[in-house]
């Protein structure tokens, strides 16, 4: 959960530990952890989109995100291998390195993994089995896809909730 020495969970997240769901998840408990994850994702600054919503787009669909921001959250394409031209000054090289680091995938993946780790700690293992990779035993999909699976499988809204 750290990237370049940053522990996102302890440093930025409003909810370092999500509310633990005991037993089978239901719509109410899933709604609560989704809100906690949204607060956590929003608490980490991002210069993608308008900058006001952090990484909230990782926990929402594009349509949902469009309701809170007038600017789309466009995930950057992989920057590829860092190439520094031969005639580049030391200062220019440093700027290129910093830019490459800022938009490199490992940093963004670590933020998403921090959020996924929170789901793993909040939801009991049997309820995540269907979305675990059989070889690596890791959860498959994005934060949004994992939340959507849990909502579809366990979060049906009852008439009492309405």
Dump pLDDT digits (tens) for 124-161: 999 999 999 999 999 999 899 999 999 999 998 767 66
Total domain count, the chain: 1
Higher pLDDT, 141 or 98: 141
Instruction: Note whether residue 50 is domain-resident.
Output: yes
Which token pair is 12? 């930025």
Instruction: Note whether residue 29 is domain-resident.
Output: yes
Predicted confidence (pLDDT) at residue 109 exceeds the cutoff of 50: yes
For residue 59, report the phi and psi dihedrals to the nearest 5 degrees: -110, -5
List 3's β-bridge partners, or say none.
Answer: 6
Q: Is 12 helix (H, G, I), strand (E, B) or coil?
A: coil
CA distance 97 to 141: 30
Which helix (H) or strand (E) segment is 48 a member of? none
Instruction: Note whether residue 39 is domain-resident.
Output: yes
Q: What is the pLDDT, as a whole number, of residue 107?
A: 56
Report the chain's mean pLDDT, rounded to a whole number: 83
Q: What is the mean pLDDT of residues 114-126?
A: 95
Q: What is the mean pLDDT of residues 84-91?
A: 89
Q: How many CA atoms lie within 13 A of 54 on its CB side?
A: 18
Domain around 10: 2-75+105-154
- Sign of the torsion formed by the C-alpha atoms of 130, 132, 104 and 53: positive
Instruction: Note whether residue 162 is domain-resident.
Output: no
Q: What global pTM score does this model have?
A: 0.74
Instruction: Note whether residue 129 is domain-resident.
Output: yes
Instruction: Note whether residue 97 is domain-resident.
Output: no
Instruction: Note whether residue 93 is domain-resident.
Output: no
The 3-state secondary structure of 71-95, one letter per residue: CCCCCCCCCCCCCCCCCCCHHHHHH
Instruction: Note whether residue 83 is domain-resident.
Output: no
Q: What is the mean pLDDT of residues 10-29?
A: 92
Of 58, 44, 47, the closest CA to residue 119 belongs to: 58
């Amino acid at each position: 959960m750290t990237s370049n020495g940053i522990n996102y969970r302890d440093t930025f997240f409003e909810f370092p530990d999500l509310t633990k769901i005991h037993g089978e998840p239901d719509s109410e408990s899933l709604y609560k952890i989704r809100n906690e994850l949204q607060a956590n994702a929003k608490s980490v600054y991002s210069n993608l989109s308008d900058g006001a919503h952090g990484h909230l787009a990782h926990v929402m669909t594009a349509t949902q995100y469009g309701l809170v921001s007038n600017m789309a959250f466009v995930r950057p394409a992989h920057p590829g291998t860092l190439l520094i031209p031969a005639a580049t000054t030391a200062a220019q090289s440093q700027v290129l390195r910093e830019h490459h680091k800022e938009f490199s995938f490992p940093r963004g993946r670590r933020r998403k993994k921090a959020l996924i780790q929170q789901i793993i700690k909040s939801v009991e293992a049997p309820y995540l089995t269907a979305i675990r990779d059989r070889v690596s035993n890791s959860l498959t999909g994005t934060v949004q896809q994992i939340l959507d699976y849990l909502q579809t499988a366990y979060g049906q809204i009852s008439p009492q909730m309405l």
